[in-house]
Structure 1
Amino acid sequence: MSQSDLNNNYYKKIIVALVLGWVAIWIYRTILTPIYPQLQEALGDVSQSQIGLIASCYFFAYTGMQIPSGFLVDKFGQKTVLIPAFIGFALATFIIGTSTGILQVYLGAILAGISTGCYYGSAFSLSAKHVPQHFKSTANAIINSGSALGMVIGLIGSSVLVGALDIQWNFMLYGAGIIILAVTALFFLLIKSDKNDVETVEQVTTASVIEEDTNVAVKLFTATHLVTYFTYFAVCYGYYMIVTWLPAFLVDEKGFDQGSVGYVAAIVAVTAIPGALFFSRFVDKNPGKRNMTIVMLLLAAAITIGLTVFSPNPWVLYVALVLYGFLGKLAIDPVLITFVSDSVPQAKVAKALTIFNTFGMASSIVAPWLTGFIGDTTGSKVLGFYIGSGLLLVAVVLFFIVIATRKNKVAN
């Protein structure tokens, strides 16, 4: 990071912009989940698996854009990629909001996935480039907290406005589109053009590029990295299953009122923010304890997801959701992101992060549809939650054996 950036506190502006980007994305991702019954009725009594396929279409497109977006960011720069992507994202919300059938919803979800698929590599390559080293994990946690804030707004907003006040569901999408356009304007104002940086990278000789790409490919597919990718797959599977189906699960199988499920599901998001900040700061100060911290967080996430299903009364459920929020995905994410971004040359950070995120987000394609399919065929979504918990337990074992117990850890 240049001295000019330090003097102007540019990295703080980046953090603000990226937090708001995640807020907008997660408002969209969660705005429909508390009102699936209304959506099913409005679209012609479609099945649970068809509704679950909305999220799967989005995440399929989102995941498919991860690696291409990494190349686009490396080629054209973050700002040049972000602004057109978010304009397309806003358009997608209006397509869904005007839908009269499920196919148009799928089309809008795919466009939203393609558009937001450009965000991850842009966001965290910006933070990796401009945030001071001693503050990186904490900065990533702050940026990720935008997803929790957006989740709270999306879940509670749609639950209250549609579930309790009977406002039409598509008005929520129009509101989300306006928010996305406002965030796009902030990207234009707060993020500097990095055209010069891109041109500098392109001036590297062909021989150097070939050598560097070969080394990066080797580093990205070691046993350590493959286990990290599977770990993120498991973390994302449980999280996106909960984000997509927890409100409906609470209504159908735990007896909660439709108007209150947004508040209950939002417990995860509210408690995630302090958890992410606490553990990221802890790892920044104690980098040698990073791997064992991840192992403990993975184990805690597995237990709390299982406890959510097993809970014999609402208070046990509340405790499980609080603990999952504090110890789950958003606490693990910034630590893993810093691990990956520190493991490759600066010029390839966007590409490395998008490969990492592709493995993680692959689970988000499967989890919403599979859990809905399980609900349709068995009459209960319980098995879907246990699958999420089981994947995390496998990740605990693999991460502990392959990474945490090695003497020569890749810790910094």
Structure 2
Amino acid sequence: MNTAATVNSKNKYLVLGLLCLGWIINYFDKVAINVAVIPISQEFGLSETQVGLILSSFFLSYAIMQPIGGTLADKFGSRKVIIISVVGWSLFTILTGTAWSFLSLIIIRFLFGIGEGSYPSASSVAVAESFPQHERARAKSILTSATTIGGVLATLVAASLSKSFGWQSMFVILGIVGLILALLYAKFLHPTGSQAAAAKRTVAKLPLRKLLKISMLWKLMAIYFGISMVTWGMMSWMPTYMVKVRHLDMVSMGALASIPAILSFVTVLLTGWLLDKRMVGRERLLIVIGSFIGIISLYLMSKAPTVTLVVAYQALANVGLAAAVTTTLTMPLKYIDPSSVGAASGLIYLGGQTAGVIAPTAMGFMIQQFNGSYDAAFWLLIIAVFIPFVVGMTLRTTAQVGNEPPAKVSTSN
């Protein structure tokens, strides 16, 4: 291997490591509110519906920013968009700790979503800029696995910080960590390898009107919506469920929440390897099978008589849905022209974050209407998983032939 190739190889793994770190901190800041709403709701006297609105306000702006951030990353490069995003969300994380009322929390969390919303699609662009096509599924799966690490640590760390220092100081501490990350990015994040150069040589990006005509993107949006209904619904309400219904203390709840997340981490990495090595052109099988596992497991979880079985079935659901979501988020990197990866990823993320707007509020409303019972709320999640199960069956891709890359949607038509 020549010197230039060696440098580029080292750089792409540095970029990937920094992006993973960003996703972990991203999840710390995002998930902390799900733990903090327990003392916040007591302090401000909030109902379940009001708690759901606070959680959903973030996802409204977060969803809006997904395609915008992706388009900006396609146009200006991922580095600038990522750094601005990290600084923005860190400042609003700190500001969350100064909230004084229900309305102030709604406004601050909405602004927080604007700051954080560009990061997911911009990080996908950074992967496309740094890795060749045949390595992107594994690189993206590693990024996705970082979100599970964030999930493992965030609930436990947030619960511990909130208990030790109060929820206000918890947000200040997490925001400062984010600002330190921004400094690291400014110095070390340079996704400018040979893949970035190739992307810059692309003659034209796919116009939005043509991007919206690609049926695969609409299907992936729908699939990600269904999966994300479960992701954000569970992330928003499982801490409260485990404390109020299953009578765990906050630290024990955080520790048990790490078990499903750890299994998700392993599943995501295995799925990335399968997508690059064994499932090219057959990605829909992972989505359909994973969704089926999710449906059965969520039903069993809703009926589980003990905490042990709740955690076990939640872990099994996470395994199935982790395989499905990793496949969904990887497909734009494999089948969409590199010049439009950011915009395409942003549209798919838009589907997922729309679920983030709906799930927390809808579940909170159902819990309140049914006098604290979570049965109807869990059924909402079970029904949502039928979307990726059914839509996944209709996905069509072109399998890899010999050493040729997979057929991808071109900008020329």
TM-score normalised over the length of structure 2: 0.88
Paired position in structure 2 for 1:374: 366
Determine what percentage of the aligned residue pairs are the same residue: 21
In the aligned structure 2, how far is the partner of 1:197 from the partner of 1:338?
Answer: 17
Q: What does 1:164-313 align with in structure 2 at a 5 Å threshold? A: 165=164, 167-192=165-190, 209=204, 213=206, 217-218=209-210, 220-286=212-278, 287-313=280-306
In the aligned structure 2, how far is the partner of 1:290 from the partner of 1:146?
Answer: 21
Compare 285-294 and 106-115 and name the one that shifted more.
Answer: 285-294
**Pair 1:378–1:128, CA change in 2 (3 A):** same
Task: Report how far residue 219 of structure 1 moved.
Answer: 5.4
Task: Report how far residue 290 of structure 1 moved.
Answer: 2.2
In the aligned structure 1, how far is the partner of 2:191 from the partner of 2:399?
Answer: 36
Paired position in structure 2 for 1:337: 329
Paired position in structure 2 for 1:102: 102
Task: Report how far residue 202 of structure 1 moved.
Answer: 8.4
**Pair 1:375–1:136, CA change in 2 (3 A):** same
> Unaligned regions of 5+ residues in structure 2, if any?
401-405, 408-413
In the aligned structure 1, how far is the partner of 2:197 from the partner of 2:390?
Answer: 44
**Pair 1:138–1:409, CA change in 2 (3 A):** closer
**Pair 1:23–1:192, CA change in 2 (3 A):** same
In the aligned structure 2, how far is the partner of 1:255 from the partner of 1:346?
Answer: 49
TM-score normalised over the length of structure 1: 0.89
Q: Secondary structure, in 3 states, of the residue corresponding to 1:221?
A: coil
Paired position in structure 2 for 1:321: 314
**Pair 1:255–1:80, CA change in 2 (3 A):** same
> Unaligned regions of 5+ residues in structure 1, if any?
none
In the aligned structure 1, how far is the partner of 2:194 from the partner of 2:272?
Answer: 32
Q: What does 1:27-38 align with in structure 2 at a 5 Å threshold? A: 27-38=28-39
Paired position in structure 1 for 2:160: 160
Compare 230-239 and 74-83 and name the one that shifted more.
Answer: 74-83
**Pair 1:76–1:27, CA change in 2 (3 A):** same
Task: Report how far residue 56 of structure 1 moved.
Answer: 0.7
**Pair 1:135–1:257, CA change in 2 (3 A):** same
Q: CA RMSD in A?
A: 2.7
Provide Cα deviations, 1:337-378, integer angstroms capped at 9, x if missing partner: 221222222111111110111112111100011111111111
**Pair 1:91–1:350, CA change in 2 (3 A):** same
In the aligned structure 2, how far is the partner of 1:198 from the partner of 1:141?
Answer: 20
Paired position in structure 2 for 1:143: 143
The amino acid of 2:283's aligned partner reads: R
Paired position in structure 2 for 1:22: 23
Provide Cα deviations, 1:24-58, integer angstroms capped at 9, x if missing partner: 1100111132342311122x211121112222111
Task: Report how far residue 324 of structure 1 moved.
Answer: 2.2
**Pair 1:340–1:3, CA change in 2 (3 A):** farther
Q: What does 1:23-102 align with in structure 2 at a 5 Å threshold? A: 23-42=24-43, 44-102=44-102
**Pair 1:75–1:194, CA change in 2 (3 A):** farther
Compare 275-284 and 234-243 and name the one that shifted more.
Answer: 275-284
Contact map agreement 2:286 2:327 (CA 8 A) in 1: no
